[in-house]
Amino acid sequence: MERQEALAGATRFLGDSPGPGLVHPAAGPVRLREDLVGEHELAWIVPFNSIAFLDHGDREKMCIPSVIVVPKAGTPAFFPPTYLPVRDFLDEVRESGESLAAWASEPAPAETVAPSVHDTVLRGHLDPGTGNFLGGHTHAPGQGQR
């Protein structure tokens, strides 16, 4: 996978995750940090944040998480866990032989049963009423999403 494909994958992921287009419901429009894109053996690391934060330093509009992992194998992009730096996380995955696909979570269809407390804590969700991200991405080392 080339850099431009990774940027397109991150754009699609953001377009599907926070809301319509590249607009976060609470932070407003977001922008990829193309100047800071990093490459790892397993994936592209694509930072982003709200335009309000990037251009004006508005911390109330800062996006957390603010990095997308786009696996080179073509599996879905995802927000990496926050318990360690992204490159260290990717190194751990490589060393364990685990697939990055285990970390990607596809949105559940609307007609499914609401997520369990365990799933909400692991994966978190965006509260449509407030636009706040609740829970998620706090895995202990060696405990990937399955």
What would the pLDDT profile of 43-67 be if each residue is shown by its tens digit?
999 999 999 999 999 999 988 889 9
Note the pLDDT of residue 2: 92
Q: Find, among 42, 40, 60, the residue nearest to 50 by Cα.
A: 60
The tokens for 76 are 């879905």
Note the pLDDT of residue 17: 55
The tokens for 106 are 């596809």
* 46 occurs within a structural domain: yes
* 16 occurs within a structural domain: yes
Residues composing the chain: 146
* 63 occurs within a structural domain: yes
CA–CA separation, 64 and 134 (whole Å) = 11
Q: Are strands 38-39 and 133-134 parallel, antiparallel or unpaired?
A: unpaired
The number of folded domains in the chain is 1
- pLDDT, average across residues 69-82: 94
* 37 occurs within a structural domain: yes
Q: 72: domain range? A: 3-110
* 119 occurs within a structural domain: no
Res. 4: pLDDT tops 50 = yes
* 132 occurs within a structural domain: no
| pTM for the structure as a whole | 0.67
* 115 occurs within a structural domain: no
Note the pLDDT of residue 93: 95
Res. 99: pLDDT tops 60 = yes
* 66 occurs within a structural domain: yes
Render pLDDT for 110-143 as a digit per residue (tens, 0 to 9): 444 455 544 444 455 555 555 555 544 444 444 4
Note the pLDDT of residue 138: 44
